[in-house]
Chain A
Amino acid sequence: MRKTVFKGTALPLLLLAPQLAITAIFFLWPAGAAIWQSLLQEDPWGMSSEFVGLRNFTEVLAQPEWRGAAYNTLIFSSAVAILAMGTALFLAVQADKSIRGANIYRTLLIWPYAVAPAVAAVLWLFLFHPSIGLVGRALNEAGIAWDYKLNGNQAMLLIIIAAAWKQVSYNFIFFLAGLQSIPRSVLEAAAIDGARPVRRFWTIILPLLSPTAFFLLVVNLVYAFFDTFGVIHALTGGGPGKATETLIYKVYVEGVQNVNLGSSSAQSVILMVLVIALTAVQFRFIERKVHY
């Protein structure tokens, strides 16, 4: 690829300016404010403010509730990523086959992505609510004690399914595009050599899909960390007890419900560091195994 070299620095800077401005306004500024706020202790009204150094951080990390939320986030994020990617890969492989009406299936599979998180949550609520939900009632009538309002594991299962369902479409599009970009000739050559479909999938398709899969892994984890607030808020509100309170939900509870700005900021700074570290690790170690 030919590199374009600009003369001087004015034009390149001008061309970069919109993106830099967006980064500054929507990331650097709020992130900086959060870091500053995390070092303060303030009353809700902001009339007395005291610099307390790292005390907010040490207090947060000492909380059993925070560690509980971190554990929930670990379970939730990995389950959502595995479930959403696994399902999407399966569907994409099926939709990639030459079948009648493939376009209709593909379109239908993309639809859930257009549904807002809160609306998605309400749809699942109407399915799984123990007394008004279709599936919830059926489960109880079949003798399975289904009550996600009181059973923490069931609540966790429900938000995992709802959050993963929202993300399947997105993954599906990328997997399908990845599958379609695999050269037919390679697969045909393997077939002639006697490789059966399952073997072709594991030895050819999957390695060639790995750049897509890696990209999706990063995106899915970030999604599970940050974008699942709406689903959790509308379905369980973090309960029962604190069974479905993830780190991002705890930031909301602490900052918006309890107006505890110092602690909430400290938690969001910790979360930011965690996600930066996670993404760095992924690029550093997992990307090596990816074939481009």
Chain B
Amino acid sequence: MRRRFLAKAGLAAAAIAATRTQPAAAQAPVEIQFWHGLPQPLGGQLEQVVAGFNASQSGVKVLPSFRGSYPETMVAAIAAFRANTAPHVVQMFEVGTGTMMSAGRAVKPVHELLSESGVTIDFNDYLPAVRGYYQASDGKQMSMPFNSSTAVMFYNKDHFKRAGLNPDAPPRTWEELAEVLKKLKAGGSASPMTFSWPAWTQVEQLSSIHDVPLATLGNGFDGLGASMQVNNPLMVRHMNNLIAWQKDGLVKYGGRDGAPDALFPAGEVSIAMASSGLRSRITREARFEWGTAMLPYYSDVGGAPRNSIIGGASFWALNRGPQGGRNAAEWKGVAEFYRYLSQPEIDAKWHMETGYVPVRRASYQVAKATGFYDKNPGSDVPIEQLLRGGETGPNTRGIRLGGYVEIRNVIQEEMEKAFQGQQNGQQAMEAVTQRGNAVLRNFERQNRG
């Protein structure tokens, strides 16, 4: 009797427990931790995209969390991985791609994630310059492209008119640009030109546009043994030009990274080479007529101009820690999230709201159909520039060097020394090659295992 009572009580307790957990288990969505590195207002816009995904279905809930700037987010993710608490998805800037590619089993490649989850995304529709940046050398997709930009040239039409230049014919080549800068100076521009992200706009973009290698082994795509090749005649010539123009007051060095971004909207410079993402700020702040043009090229270099390369970031799926520790439902949730992001409507909306480029051709068509480019002339320049020259090749698909965050800083430092008059273009590029190679060899040694 007593035993039966106990058994009954046990059953009842089990039943209660079951009724408590079971409906919850059926409804509780899989939670996906998502760390991103976009400050406001872009971060809020990204979190709205995530909210859109969460509202579109009930099985998966993505929890976005801002983790500081891109480098801070990268370090936070690495530290979390070492402590076995990595997020499912982390947004990683494009220069961190080489480091991520060598992360081995820390990373769950997109192609693996999709095939295991039975989700398909048509990567062939993605812009080659975008998808290629995040592919292994065998063409397998490693990370999920999302917010991508490229460098373009913004110019002040009022300054052009003041200097007697045609405001609708921006310079196409560096030779034309040099003449334009002199005229702008004569026409009253104190500082005719500046550039943001010095390493990105003046070294990486220049190499891609002229189809010249930045490093051996296809800019590092084919292995960790790559060496820097920036001490080439084109790069040295360009550096010497920049140094000479800076000396003559035609070019103003405005600082590292995005520091010079403020100069163009404020009307301090007539021409700025900057991220296409600067468009929204210029629209908001500029009190003058302005236009967008493609980055110039040297007309005597055969094969130029080719496509520019991208900036921005992509999404990487991570294991919980060195021992793995994720189940199929979690990976499936990540795959569903990626599928949502890949929809042309979502991508086109993001592009039109933020100034990032559409990453798919289909999204470009969607944006075209809404009349966006008629209302915002010039906002298709970055896309056309990315598509210039057809399929990408070994020198134009991007940079895949380990420790590239550090190498970018090396480039900026050596350029600064050159602008201070401490060295010429040849010496600067030799120094970048030598110091960059030290970084590459160190990275190779760390990642042998």
Contact = CB atoms under 8 A, between A and B. Distances in A.
Interface centre among B266, B445, B446 (most CB of A within 10 A): B446
A47 B105 contact: yes
B254 A43 contact: no
A82 interface: no
Nearest to A260: B442
Contacts of A131: 263, 266, 268
B448 A48 contact: yes
B413 interface: yes
A43 B98 CA distance: 13
A46 B82 contact: yes
A132 B267 CA distance: 12
Interface residues of B, number: 42
B154 interface: no
Contacts of A258: 403, 405-406, 439
Interface in B401-419: 403, 405-406, 409, 412-414, 416-417, 419
B406 A257 contact: yes
A47 B82 CA distance: 9
Interface in A127-173: 131-132, 149-152
B390 to A, nearest CB: 36
Interface in B247-295: 253-256, 259, 262-263, 266, 268
A286 to B, nearest CB: 37
B71 A41 contact: no
Given A45-B78, A46-B82, A149-B254, A257 B405 contact: yes
Contact of A48 (B71, B405, B449): B449
Contact of B78 (A44, A132, A241): A44
B259 A149 contact: yes
A259 B75 contact: yes
A245 to B, nearest CB: 9
A149 B420 CA distance: 10
Contact of A41 (B74, B254, B445): B445
Nearest to B105: A47
Nearest to A46: B82
Interface string A29-46: 000000000000111111
Nearest to A131: B268
Contact residues of A: prevailing secondary structure: loop
Interface in A27-83: 41-48, 50
Contact of B81 (A45, A149, A150): A45
B71 A240 contact: no
Contacts of A242: 413
A217 to B, nearest CB: 33
Nearest to A45: B106
A50 B139 CA distance: 32
Contacts of B268: 131
A241 B104 contact: no
Taking each of A50, A237, A258, which has the highest tally of chain B beta carbons within 10 Å of its own beta carbon? A258
A47 B449 CA distance: 8
Contacts of A48: 446-449
B28 to A, nearest CB: 31
B420 A46 contact: no
Contacts of A278: none
Contact of A151 (B99, B256, B420): B420
Contact of A241 (B75, B103, B413): B413
Contacts of B103: 43-45, 47
B104 A47 contact: yes
B102 interface: yes
Given A41-B446, A241-B420, A149 B255 contact: yes
Contact of A43 (B71, B102, B262): B102
7 contacts: A45-B82, A47-B106, A241-B420, A257-B71, A257-B75, A258-B406, A260-B403
Interface of A: 41-48, 50, 131-132, 149-152, 237, 239-242, 253, 256-260
Given A151-B420, A258-B405, A260-B403, 18 more contacts: A41-B446, A42-B446, A43-B102, A44-B78, A45-B106, A45-B322, A48-B447, A50-B449, A149-B254, A149-B255, A150-B420, A239-B255, A239-B256, A239-B413, A240-B417, A241-B417, A257-B71, A257-B409
Interface of B: 71-72, 74-75, 78, 81-82, 99, 102-106, 253-256, 259, 262-263, 266, 268, 322, 403, 405-406, 409, 412-414, 416-417, 419-420, 422, 439, 442, 445-449
